[in-house]
């Protein structure tokens, strides 16, 4: 069946006809068969072939309906930076015109985003990359990048009048869903692998009031179950296969490009599990390039945990095979063996001349302890990006003069159990073991002397 949109269209072409009802700003398109759906259709995937859906927007226009120049688009983003109402102060909604144009009063926002781009000498030294910048998504309201997708996904739930929302999660998505669903006043249901979710994330999800289902199985089983439940029970699915979640996560890239004055870095490096973020980053770069906001494409680098690395294995074989693995890693957020956003992530890597690599648990922990000790802090999975930069510098792929943005996806407090255990271990040379003392000044003095000695 033919559809009115060319397969390679990044934006809706001017004058295109035959679009579904309600598609004046955006349309949903199946990435596999090209079927078009209304932007208000709640289908979790393509009703014809089961493929993943993506959003295609109209490129931003002025009040006379003429396309905006790249400079005018940049100016409009800058203007919205600190504007009222509250929604536009968000690091997601200031990009509304390329995220969910026309969202209007439906917006459910904390606000979120506006996360810092940090430079830390200790982390640069560790990786060997002088031009390293850290985009810290742990500074979002629930402590991870998931808030960016969830503000948009929940806004869509409001727009379509959803009666309940649900997701499968390794923890951060559930925390974000629980928070935004509470704000929107919509019941939230989360499916998490029993015994495999970090304490901080479980605590958040319970506190924000989502119904929490501890599924006897891994993340991949949780995802299959929630997809089936949403199909059969009419619950609105808010996993990152939801195309509106991807639109929100794109803003990590738009925001970092804006922070760099629209000078694209040479590399953007991120941890990868279910590959939703890899897909979102690829879409953001495709759109930023098509709009003329950046002159060159950065190379995208997705870093998986070595024990959960089907995508890295496929990359080495030019993606000839789609692998699944029995995932095992200390980085529970990326403990995923059958990534859902596979095809769109392949496109992201190919279009950016990107790379997919893996880091062992020891490399991830070593990078994390370095990030934490620099006073920055992150959750274990996040440190995969910094471990990846170190590896690529060592392998001569990242050069001395390259600019690199490594994304930290979650906050240090997300996984307190793992940290307390690590820092009490007798056999871990970098452990910062707590010291039990008598309640005397001389005991404090002894510790101080020892601390100064070891700092010399």
List of residues contacting ligand PLP (CB under 6 A): 144, 170, 172-173, 240, 271-278, 333-334, 379, 381-382, 409-410
**CB atoms inside a 10 Å sphere around CB 241:** 23
* Shortest distance, position 277 Cβ to ligand PLP, whole Å: 4
* CA dihedral of 387, 218, 158, 29, whole degrees rounded to 10: 80
Cα separation, 235 vs 319, in Å, equals 33
Residues pairing with 36 in the sheet? 29
Closest to ligand PLP by CB, 145 vs 267, is 145
Closest by alpha carbon to 373, among 426, 432, 417, 333? Answer: 432
Alpha carbon separation from 228 to 17, 162, 238, 268, 318 (Å, rounded): 34, 17, 13, 35, 32
Find out whether 314 and 350 touch, Cβ atoms under 8 Å.
no
Closest to ligand PLP by CB, 46 vs 308, is 308
- Check residue 26 and report its DSSP letter: E
* Shortest distance, position 342 Cβ to ligand PLP, whole Å: 11
- Check residue 133 and report its DSSP letter: E
Cα separation, 282 vs 345, in Å, equals 7
Closest to ligand PLP by CB, 127 vs 170, is 170
Closest by alpha carbon to 63, among 55, 71, 72? Answer: 72
Count of positions (residues) in the chain? 456
Closest to ligand PLP by CB, 27 vs 252, is 252
* Shortest distance, position 212 Cβ to ligand PLP, whole Å: 16
Alpha carbon separation from 184 to 109, 152, 180, 206, 209 (Å, rounded): 9, 12, 6, 17, 12
Closest to ligand PLP by CB, 287 vs 379, is 379
- Check residue 30 and report its DSSP letter: E
* Shortest distance, position 272 Cβ to ligand PLP, whole Å: 4
- Residue 90's Cβ-count burial label (10 Å; 0-12, 13-18, 19+) is buried
Instruction: Identify the H or E element spanning 304.
Output: strand 299-305
Q: Which residues contact residue 29 at a Cβ distance below 8 angstroms, ignoring those fewer than 6 apart?
A: 3, 5, 35, 36, 37, 53, 54, 55, 56
Closest by alpha carbon to 112, among 274, 253, 251? Answer: 251
Find out whether 120 and 134 touch, Cβ atoms under 8 Å.
yes
* Shortest distance, position 185 Cβ to ligand PLP, whole Å: 25
Closest to ligand PLP by CB, 11 vs 323, is 323
Closest to ligand PLP by CB, 175 vs 186, is 175
* Shortest distance, position 127 Cβ to ligand PLP, whole Å: 18
Closest to ligand PLP by CB, 30 vs 309, is 309
* Shortest distance, position 163 Cβ to ligand PLP, whole Å: 26
Alpha carbon separation from 126 to 121, 122, 182, 299, 409 (Å, rounded): 8, 6, 41, 21, 19
Cα separation, 340 vs 44, in Å, equals 13
* Shortest distance, position 320 Cβ to ligand PLP, whole Å: 21
Vertex 250: Cα angle to 12 and 199 (nearest 5): 145
* Shortest distance, position 182 Cβ to ligand PLP, whole Å: 19
Closest to ligand PLP by CB, 96 vs 137, is 137
Closest to ligand PLP by CB, 96 vs 379, is 379
* Shortest distance, position 200 Cβ to ligand PLP, whole Å: 11
Closest to ligand PLP by CB, 172 vs 230, is 172
Give SS3 for 404. Answer: strand
* Shortest distance, position 382 Cβ to ligand PLP, whole Å: 5
* Shortest distance, position 389 Cβ to ligand PLP, whole Å: 15
Closest to ligand PLP by CB, 144 vs 329, is 144
């Amino acid at each position: 069946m033919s559809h009115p949109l060319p397969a390679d269209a990044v934006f809706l072409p001017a004058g295109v006809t035959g679009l579904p009802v309600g598609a004046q700003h955006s349309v949903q398109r199946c990435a596999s068969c090209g079927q078009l759906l209304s932007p208000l259709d709640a289908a979790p995937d393509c009703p014809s072939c089961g493929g993943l859906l993506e959003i295609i927007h109209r490129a931003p226009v002025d009040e006379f309906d003429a396309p905006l120049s790249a400079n005018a688009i940049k100016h409009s983003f800058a203007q919205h930076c600190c504007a009222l109402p509250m929604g536009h102060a968000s690091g997601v909604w200031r990009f509304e015109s390329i995220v969910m144009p026309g969202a209007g009063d439906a917006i459910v926002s904390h606000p979120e985003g506006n996360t810092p781009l940090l430079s830390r000498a200790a982390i640069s030294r560790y990786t060997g990359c002088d031009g390293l910048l850290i985009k810290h998504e742990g500074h979002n309201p629930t402590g991870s990048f998931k808030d960016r997708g969830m503000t948009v996904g929940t806004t869509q739930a409001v727009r379509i009048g959803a009666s309940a929302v649900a997701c499968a999660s390794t923890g951060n998505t559930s925390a974000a869903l629980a928070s935004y669903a509470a704000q929107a006043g919509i019941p939230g249901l989360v499916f998490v692998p029993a015994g495999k979710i970090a304490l901080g994330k479980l605590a958040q999800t319970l506190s924000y009031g989502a119904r929490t289902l501890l599924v006897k199985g891994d993340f991949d089983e949780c995802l299959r179950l929630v997809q089936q439940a949403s199909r059969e029970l009419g619950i609105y699915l808010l996993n990152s296969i939801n195309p509106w979640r991807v639109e929100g996560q794109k803003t990590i890239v738009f925001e970092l490009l804006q922070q760099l004055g629209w000078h694209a870095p040479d590399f953007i490096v991120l941890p990868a599990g279910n590959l939703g973020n890899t897909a979102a980053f690829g879409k953001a770069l495709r759109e930023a390039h098509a709009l003329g906001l950046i002159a060159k494409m950065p190379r995208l680098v997705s870093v998986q945990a070595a024990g959960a690395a089907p995508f890295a294995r496929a990359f080495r074989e030019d993606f000839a095979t789609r692998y699944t693995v029995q995932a095992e890693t200390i980085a529970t957020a990326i403990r995923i063996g059958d990534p859902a956003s596979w095809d769109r992530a392949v496109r992201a890597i190919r279009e950016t001349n990107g790379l997919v690599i893996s880091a062992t648990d020891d490399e991830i922990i070593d990078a994390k302890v370095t990030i934490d000790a620099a006073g920055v802090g992150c959750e274990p999975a996040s440190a995969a990006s910094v471990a990846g930069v170190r590896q690529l510098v060592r392998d001569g792929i990242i050069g001395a003069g390259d600019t690199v943005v490594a994304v930290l996806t979650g906050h240090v407090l997300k996984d307190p159990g793992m940290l307390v255990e690590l820092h009490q271990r007798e056999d871990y040379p970098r452990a910062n073991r707590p010291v039990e003392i008598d309640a005397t000044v001389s005991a404090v003095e002894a510790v101080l002397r020892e601390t100064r000695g070891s700092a010399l």
